[in-house]
Amino acid sequence: MIRAGIIGATGYAGGELVRILTGHKDVKVVWYGSRSYIDKRYADVYQNMFRIVDARCMDDNMEELAEQADVIFTATPQGFCASMMTEEILGKTKIIDLSADYRIKDVKVYEEWYGITHKSPQFIEEAVYGLCEVNREEIKKARLVANPGCYTTCSILTAYPLAKEGLIDMNTLIVDAKSGTSGAGRGAKVPNIYCEVNENIKAYAVASHRHTPEIEEQLGYAAKEEVVVNFTPHLIPMNRGILATEYASLKEKVTYDEVKAVYDKYYKDESFIRVLEEGVCPETKWVEGSNYVDINFKIDPRTNRIIMMGAIDNLVKGAAGQAVQNMNLLFGLPEEEGLRMVPMFP
């Protein structure tokens, strides 16, 4: 039985980790960390866990937790995990960090986009970017996994096969993405309260969203060239889900079957990526509550562009589900264990 600890267990991603791990046959959660609710019963914070989780919330002492847990999930704001990380901790347990602290290899880029000083840059090179469908073998050997961001997971996986095969001009790539409000976290913020969000859609962090360099770096590895993208996120009035619509110029004329063959080359054996049938556009409602990514594309011969579309649940494949998928790889378990949730509808 894997002993798991969660720091940040009362945020949205942390709560989703608890929900998923509670149903995982090989895991026992031994630590529900939450600085805001120390000694409060977890089920009093999340009533859906009444008579399911009897534990009380604990603090965020990673050194003590490392003595008790085989794996620690840090579902915390940027900077926390980096400020706590030591060689002693990594020598005792595995870390899956859901923040951005170890996602970006260039510490200067991280500090520029996140506006904070990185407290443990010595571990950045070692950290493995936890996009399972791309870095599966490297993840299996890791001590420290950088769990990808929600927008980035959807954006990268949607375009990855075409970037990898050199079918698109990466200089023309535009990513337009919409997210439900849970992506902004559980903290009280005026722009995210009901009256501000309901009956509204808005772009935000235009040309400045923090997931931009992460998308550029990972697609750059795929394309083997420096990649610069326009990434524009939007907030929409729903709880969860991300839809990314991506546009790029094709390097040469291709047919539907040729592009479909490229997607199948990379994804036909992937448990959680579903390339949809021709003409079917991904929708967030068909992945809600699941670890699936639904992807499709449309060639526009008039403009010689391709439109790529992807949908995920931002809290599952975009956060907690992907973290559990990474954990399964780390411990040699079937990758799908604990994640075989059928999408919820309605």
What positions carry a catalytic annotation?
A: 150
Q: Within a 10 A sphere around the Cβ of 234, how many other Cβ atoms? A: 15
> From its phi and psi, is residue 103 left (phi > 0), alpha (psi between -120 and 50) or beta?
alpha
Q: Convert 173-189 into a string of H (helix), E (strand) and C (coil).
A: CEEEEEECHHHHCCCCC
Task: List strands edge to edge, sheet with 128-129.
Answer: 27-33, 2-7, 71-74, 94-97, 144-146, 128-129
Going by C-beta distance under 8 Å and a sequence separation of 6 or more, which residues neighbour residue 221? Answer: none
Q: CA–CA separation, 2 vs 5, rounded Å?
A: 10
Bridge partners, 203 (sequence order): 234
HSE of 68 in the Cβ direction (CA atoms, 13 Å)? Answer: 14
Residue 249 one-letter amino acid: S
Written as six digits, the tokens of 308 are 């790529």
